Amino acid sequence: MGRKVIWTPRAAALVEEAARHIEVDSPAAAFKLVTDTFAIAESLSELPDRGRIVPELSRSKYREVFVGRYRLIYRVGADHVAIIAFVHGARDFRSWWRRYRGGLPN
């Protein structure tokens, strides 16, 4: 049996924000982004270590997998995987992370 996948409210809101942005041009692409994101997140239940350590945060407890051009960032716990962020790969990650990390779980 795998780990439980838990979404932080902020991470879920970031997926929703990305989907709303994409939906303006393509509702089908927005739907695909959301379904792919949740499927990939759920697969971390069985394979939580498959993602790479976030390169900008070397030696950190955070890992990531890509969903298209987006980075799904998560942390592996003993019995769960916490999805903590969803950010476009073109963003300046270090700057974004400094602003974002204030609300992250320990």
Q: Where are the domains of the chain?
A: 4-101
* Predicted model pTM: 0.88
pLDDT at 105: 47
pLDDT at 106: 43
pLDDT at 42: 96
> What average pLDDT does this structure show over 41-50?
94
CATH code 3.30.2310.20 for 4-101: yes
58-85 pLDDT, tens digit each: 777 899 999 999 999 999 999 999 999 9
Per-residue pLDDT band at 102 (split at 50, 70, 90)? low
Question: Is a pLDDT exceeding 80 seen at residue 101?
Answer: no
Which of 51, 50, 58, 41 lies closest to 93, judged by CA? 58
Give me the phi and psi of 18, to 5 degrees please: -65, -45
